[in-house]
Amino acid sequence: MSISTNYLSGIMPDSGQNDEKISAHVAIVGSGPTGCFAALAMLKCIPEVRITVFEARPAPYGLLRYGVAPDHQGMKNVTRQFERLFGSNQVEFVGNVRIGQDLPFEVLQENFDFVVIATGLPSERALPVPVHPGAKIWGASQLLRYLNADPDSDLRTKETVELGDSVLIIGSGNVAMDVARLLAKSDEGFDGSDVDDAAREALAPSKITRITLLSRSPYEQVRWDPSMFKELCSIPGVEVYLDGRRSTERTDTFSGPTRHQRLRVEVFFNQKLREIDLQEDNAYANQITVRTQNGTSDAHLSAESPKTSFRASAVITAIGFEERRIGFGEVPADNVFRAGGCATGRLGNLAENRALAKQTAQLVAAKVGKQSKLTGLAGVAPFLAQTPVSFSDWKAIDEAEVTRARPGRIRQKFTSWSEMSDVVAQTRS
């Protein structure tokens, strides 16, 4: 990802006027929810702290902007708290600076009293079975990034992303529910959202007649929230079947036009994935075959366990995220902390990451002395090869996205970094 910034004026690091009062300079790497929650907690528990939040992308908020479902705006509203955070004169947003690439981690360590790494968990877990290289298989967050208008989404560069008539989702947690719901809803279901309409159109969800979810666990241990399941069942025109039996779960959450094609959503439990292949039968050209074995646990599976084959035109995996080497901050040090998914190896939800961020803030607070001898952001500014995106730059991008929203949408996100760069340049000129 790159944004042209050579014409952008610099952000204003702490002027140093009140340096004698500063207790600690803290750098946070990553402006996702965990980094922002950590900054909020530190403002409360560390008097006279100065915090700089470094973000690799020009836009803040991590998966809150590019992962969380675009029709769940209530969840995204937590950004209002974060806006107030960046309004504080104790906190600076430094966007478009990837630590370890645009700025060496060691420079942060030398200039800040403490560094908190909150880079999340960016890699989707790979399927642990043989997969045909020609099969159309995407990760759930790949799909969500596309629908959330992420400029770095690789789906935007593909010739065709149409999903076909039958989508199979591997997994049965809340992210799997998000995928099923987003593909099941008709256009009206996105009123008040900031979905990327061009991406939705390219995926052609209205042509889908069947969505199948494969759950590894039995029904009793399913990981979706009941409210998420209810929401899916309440979409007009959608019929949900659990192991072949029609679900009676319905609420009045949605009313309005039924999608023009009826959609059957089937969930199968106790499905141990074995293989993903392309159907060789010419009648089903480009159809994917997903083979499973049925059993409640590995201990109960044998060569004789019943096998099932599912057919689909596209497969979406929603089986979680895994740790990947961040490439810096690996050596234990007294002044370096990790928070959120990059510390626990589990992405977690917002509430969990808020709690983890608070714990990290308290660990930092316990080590803060009376007065910092370092210079924080002012000390690293000379090392920045490119001019960062400040929070007021981001607010200009934000405002432009809201202004250009089409009817029924709350914003239309820019799908390229260069468009954002243009807005910033215009605002500054």
- Which residues in this chain contact ligand FAD in the complex, by CB under 6 A? 29-35, 54-57, 62-64, 67-69, 72, 75, 98-100, 118-120, 140-141, 144, 175, 178, 340-341, 347-350, 353
- Taking the complex as a whole, the smallest distance from the CB of residue 347 to ligand FAD amounts, in Å, to 5
- Taking the complex as a whole, the smallest distance from the CB of residue 267 to ligand FAD amounts, in Å, to 19
Q: Which is nearer to ligand FAD, 292 or 376 (CB)?
A: 376
Spatial CA neighbour of 1 closest among 69, 55, 54: 55
- Taking the complex as a whole, the smallest distance from the CB of residue 151 to ligand FAD amounts, in Å, to 12
- Taking the complex as a whole, the smallest distance from the CB of residue 341 to ligand FAD amounts, in Å, to 5
Q: Which is nearer to ligand FAD, 52 or 287 (CB)?
A: 52
- Taking the complex as a whole, the smallest distance from the CB of residue 230 to ligand FAD amounts, in Å, to 15
By beta carbon distance, the residue nearest ligand FAD is 32
- Taking the complex as a whole, the smallest distance from the CB of residue 321 to ligand FAD amounts, in Å, to 7
Q: Which is nearer to ligand FAD, 182 or 208 (CB)?
A: 182
- Taking the complex as a whole, the smallest distance from the CB of residue 99 to ligand FAD amounts, in Å, to 4
Q: Which is nearer to ligand FAD, 64 or 397 (CB)?
A: 64
Q: Which is nearer to ligand FAD, 227 or 308 (CB)?
A: 227
- What is the total residue count of the chain? 429
Q: Which is nearer to ligand FAD, 94 or 272 (CB)?
A: 94
Task: Report whether 372 contacts 92 (CB < 8 A).
Answer: no
Q: Which is nearer to ligand FAD, 62 or 171 (CB)?
A: 62
